[in-house]
């Protein structure tokens, strides 16, 4: 997979050293959860998954590339919507089994429902209530009913 150069960013790292990679713990499917947080607003935008190739591409290209478990393929975030995530930093946690990406969220919309964050439902009483407005109709983002991300 290549990432088009219209959205090319300075690389975060051209290569991850063997010792850097050795700190990462991949699950039985070769994946690691990756949290995306807006570097400006601090809002947690989404949780997605990366395999080794997704992390390598993300680090090299400076834009978030995940492994889509539903589609079974690499998924450059924003490839359909234009809502690319430009990476400002990549962090790992203390036991090496989770990643945190600080990103600039293009369009200010991370969620396929047209909201800023995928975490737009909050527990209230015994159920969930929506706390975020829809900033853009998904039909205007995708030109069709979106697939789940």
Give me the residues that bind its own copies (CB under 8 A), please. 12-17, 19-20, 23, 33, 35, 37, 42, 44, 46-47, 59, 89-95, 97-98, 100, 111-113, 115, 118-128, 131, 148-149
* H-assigned helices in the chain: 18-22, 52-61, 138-142
Q: Which is nearer to its own copies, 6 or 145 (CB)?
A: 145
91 in helix, strand or coil? strand
Task: Considering the complex, state which of residue 68 and residue 106 has its C-beta at the smaller distance from its own copies.
Answer: 68
Closest CA to 63 of 36, 23, 97: 36
Q: Is the Cβ of residue 6 or residue 78 nearer to its own copies in the bound state?
A: 78
Please give the Cα distance from 102 to 90 (Å, whole number).
7
Using the minimum distance from each CB to its own copies, give the nearer residue, 126 or 140.
Answer: 126
Smallest gap from Cβ 103 to its own copies, in A, equals 12
> 3 or 116, CB closer to its own copies?
116
CB of 73 to its own copies, least distance (A): 17
The least CB distance from residue 116 to its own copies, in Å, is: 12
Least distance to its own copies, CB of residue 87, Å: 9
Q: How far is the CB of 4 from its own copies (least distance, A)?
A: 23
């Amino acid at each position: 997979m290549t990432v088009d150069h219209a959205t090319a960013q300075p690389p975060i790292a051209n290569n991850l050293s063997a010792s850097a990679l050795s700190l990462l713990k991949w699950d039985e499917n070769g994946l690691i959860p990756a949290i995306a947080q807006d570097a400006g607003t601090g809002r947690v935008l989404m949780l997605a998954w990366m395999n080794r190739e997704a992390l390598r591409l993300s680090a090299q290209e400076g834009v978030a590339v995940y492994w889509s478990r539903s589609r079974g393929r690499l998924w450059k975030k924003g490839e359909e919507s234009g809502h690319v995530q430009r990476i400002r930093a990549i962090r790992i946690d203390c036991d090496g089994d989770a990643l945190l990406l600080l990103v600039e969220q293009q369009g200010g919309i991370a969620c396929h429902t047209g909201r800023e964050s995928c975490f737009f439902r909050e527990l209230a009483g015994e159920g969930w209530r929506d706390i975020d407005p829809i900033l853009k109709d998904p039909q205007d983002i995708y030109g069709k009913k979106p697939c789940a991300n």
